[in-house]
Amino acid sequence: MQFTTSSLLTTLYLLLLLPTSIRSVPIPNFDLSSDTLYPTKTIFTLAGSPSSIRAGNSVSTAGDIDGDGYSDVIIGAYLYGDNNEGAAYVLYGGLESSFQDVTGATTLDPATAGFAIIGAAGDIFGYSVSTAGDLDNDGYDDIIIGAYAQSDSRGAAYVIYGGERSSLQNINLGVMDLKSLGLGFKMTGDASKDTFGWSVSTAGNINNDDYADIIIGARGQSTTPGAVYVIYGGPRSSLLDRDFSSFTLTS
Ligand SMILES: [Ca+2]
Ligand SMILES: [Ca+2]
Ligand SMILES: [Ca+2]
């Protein structure tokens, strides 16, 4: 390609028309002890003693769990409760003007703010949280939450389906069964001390079908040692509670 003076001037002129944000992208440094981030309004504050519930030990996008086009967030608070139940909070994204402060309570308003999921006693539920992607391909992103301390640290992980806000609700896993209620399903680790659910994440779509997949770490698994489970998504009818003590790991 041959450049003429005219074509070079034209190119330079077009470059100058580019927005400043494209030509140079300054990234400021922030000192969180003194600087104020924009927007200054927080969307999540905790009443009581935040240090005791460890809110924010784990955080993740929740994908778009209510299908309104705005991404949502999930926040773990693994020491919530008098008996280390642990909790996770889903907070909806939206117009900035719609953001509201909420408290680390047992319930939130699923119609406007989000919803809370509380673990059973001793679970350390919410130590790990993540979007699961759209595991059942119904158009709504789902979430996965780990509870590594359950049953002498055998551990568990829970998938909760997204849906219209009218279908989303506060969940207490101490008294509610996800599968029978059609809200999701539960996976449990192989043996005591496996700490199944120590880490959880979407796996993307590892087999390139129509369904997102998930990955779960069990760092305490003693025979391997450490183990990672990848579980395929699929139609909701195929997503059953799973007890991995009845599975044989293969290499
Ligand atoms: Ca949303
Ligand atoms: Ca889904
Ligand atoms: Ca898949």
201-221 pLDDT per residue, tens: 999 999 999 999 999 999 999
Q: Which residues surround ligand 3, an ion (CB under 5 A)?
A: 205, 207, 209, 211, 213
How far lies 225's CA from each of 203, 217, 220, 221, in Å?
Answer: 21, 11, 7, 5
- Centroid of ligand 3 to alpha carbon of 149 (angstroms): 28
* Whether the predicted model's global pTM rises above the 0.85 cut: no
User: What's the pLDDT score for residue 151?
Assistant: 97
CATH number given to 5-16+38-243? 2.130.10.130
Q: CA 99 to CA 107: how far, in whole Å?
A: 17
Tell how far the Cα of 114 is from the centroid of ligand 1, in angstroms: 10
* Alpha-carbon distances, residue 126 vs 16, 86, 90, 109, 232 (angstroms): 49, 6, 11, 19, 22
The ranges assigned to domains in the chain are 5-16+38-243
Residues around ion ligand 2, judged by CB within 5 A, are 134, 136, 138, 140, 142
Which tens digit of pLDDT belongs to each residue from 105-159? 788 899 998 999 999 999 999 999 999 999 999 999 999 999 999 999 999 999 9
- Which listed ligand is nearest to 205 at the C-alpha? 3
Instruction: Say how many Å lie between the CA of residue 199 and the centre of ligand 3.
Output: 19
Q: Ligand 3 mean position to 200 CA, how many Å?
A: 16
Ligand at minimal distance from the CA of 211 is 3
